[in-house]
């Protein structure tokens, strides 16, 4: 079900992008919009993992530097039948973790030093199983595509505002959206794209929770992880553009409506995990 939702959400995002391109420059604008999205996704596909790991100062570790974390990831990768991901530690006391990489063959998982300090082995296994679930389902690639298309929509919407105001864009033989319509579209499209992007992220989090519970065999361990409370106590200086990557929203200390959240409600996630243990 979550896979079907994701496909629908990505189709909606693409439609919004093409619609903006059409409003900006007719058929030519649609082609430009698709080319822009394709180019941005190509760059994101190859470089997003390096960028995000560098952004948080993540340090690669092996069995000597982090024996427990490394052995847990190795065991989970074996159970999931995927290559061993690279393992990183982020030097911050804020408890969190994420996975990145375009495919299971090019994956990396990262945990903060804070999460290693506060979780039991079972809880840490539950958290890392969630991240391996993301790797298994290529969620990082899907989330990156969604974020990239949403970013392209915002860029085109900004161009559309200026094009409408200065009478540029479509040729004379093509009907334009008009001043009011163009401005309205430029305002609504980025909001709609952001809502769809957040919905993609929330859907993939549920899927990773399920996969993590199955891989670890201990859904209650992930449910009992003290991450949500600890995140409020020790906030993380995170870039909002990367919030969707983390197991719990690093921005959760701020007031966010559910529709604009990259993560489902913690209470709902815990309830689903506990139901899996029955």
Task: Note whether 19 and 151 are within 8 A (CB).
Answer: no
pLDDT at 203: 83
Among residues 131, 175, 210, 267, the one annotated as catalytic is 131
pLDDT per position as a tens digit, 238-271: 777 677 788 888 775 444 455 557 788 778 888 8
Residue 125 vs residue 231, higher pLDDT: 125
Least confident of 35-44, 92-101, 187-196, 239-248: 35-44
Work out the widest C-alpha separation in the chain, in whole angstroms: 68
pTM, rounded to two decimals: 0.74
Reported confidence tier of residue 60, pLDDT bands at 50, 70, 90? very high
d(CA 132, CA 154): 31
Long-range contacts of 15-22 (CB under 8 A, 24+ apart): 16/153, 16/189, 16/192, 16/193, 16/196, 17/149, 17/152, 17/153, 17/156, 17/193, 19/185, 19/189, 20/153, 20/156, 20/157, 20/160, 20/185, 20/186, 20/189, 21/156
Reported confidence tier of residue 37, pLDDT bands at 50, 70, 90? low
pLDDT at 34: 66
Q: Is the pLDDT of residue 154 over 80?
A: no
pLDDT per position as a tens digit, 81-111: 999 999 999 999 989 999 998 889 999 999 9
Reported confidence tier of residue 15, pLDDT bands at 50, 70, 90? confident
Burial of 153 (0-12, 13-18, 19+ CB in 10 A): buried
Reported confidence tier of residue 2, pLDDT bands at 50, 70, 90? very low
Phi, psi of 141, rounded to the nearest 5 degrees: -65, -45
Q: Is the pLDDT of residue 69 over 90?
A: yes
pLDDT at 131: 94
Task: Note whether 124 and 247 are within 8 A (CB).
Answer: no
Is 131 among the residues known to form the active site? yes
Q: Is the pLDDT of residue 116 over 70?
A: yes
Q: Which two tokens stand for residue 124?
A: 């840490």
- Contacts of residue 39, defined as CB under 8 A and 6 or more positions apart, other chains included, come to none
Residue 215 vs residue 193, higher pLDDT: 215
pLDDT at 181: 64
Task: Note whether 186 and 158 are within 8 A (CB).
Answer: yes
Residue 108 vs residue 15, higher pLDDT: 108
């Amino acid at each position: 079900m979550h896979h079907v939702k994701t496909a629908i959400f990505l189709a909606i995002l693409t439609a919004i992008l093409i619609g903006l391109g059409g409003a900006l420059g007719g058929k030519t604008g649609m082609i430009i919009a698709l080319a822009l999205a394709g180019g941005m996704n190509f760059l994101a596909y190859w470089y997003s993992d390096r960028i995000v790991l560098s952004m948080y100062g993540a340090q690669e570790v092996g069995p000597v530097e982090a024996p427990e974390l490394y052995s847990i990831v190795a065991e989970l990768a074996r159970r999931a039948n995927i290559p061993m991901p690279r393992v990183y530690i982020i030097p911050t006391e804020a408890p969190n973790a994420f996975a990145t990489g375009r495919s299971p063959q090019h994956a990396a998982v990262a945990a903060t030093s804070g999460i290693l300090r506060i979780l039991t082995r079972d809880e840490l296994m539950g958290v890392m199983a969630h991240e391996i679930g993301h790797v298994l389902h290529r969620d990082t690639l899907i989330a990156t595509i969604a974020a990239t298309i949403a970013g392209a929509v915002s860029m085109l919407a900004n161009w559309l505002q200026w094009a409408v105001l200065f009478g540029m864009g479509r040729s004379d033989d093509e009907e334009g959206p008009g001043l009011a319509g163009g401005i309205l579209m430029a305002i609504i499209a980025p909001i709609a794209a952001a809502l769809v992007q957040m919905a993609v992220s929330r859907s993939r989090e549920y899927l990773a929770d399920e996969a993590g519970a199955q891989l670890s065999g201990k859904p209650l361990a992930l449910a009992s992880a003290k991450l949500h409370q600890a995140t409020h106590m020790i906030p993380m200086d995170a870039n909002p553009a990367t919030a969707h990557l983390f197991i719990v929203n690093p921005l959760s200390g701020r007031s966010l409506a559910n529709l604009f959240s990259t993560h489902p409600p913690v209470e709902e996630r815990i309830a689903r995990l506990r139901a899996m243990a029955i």
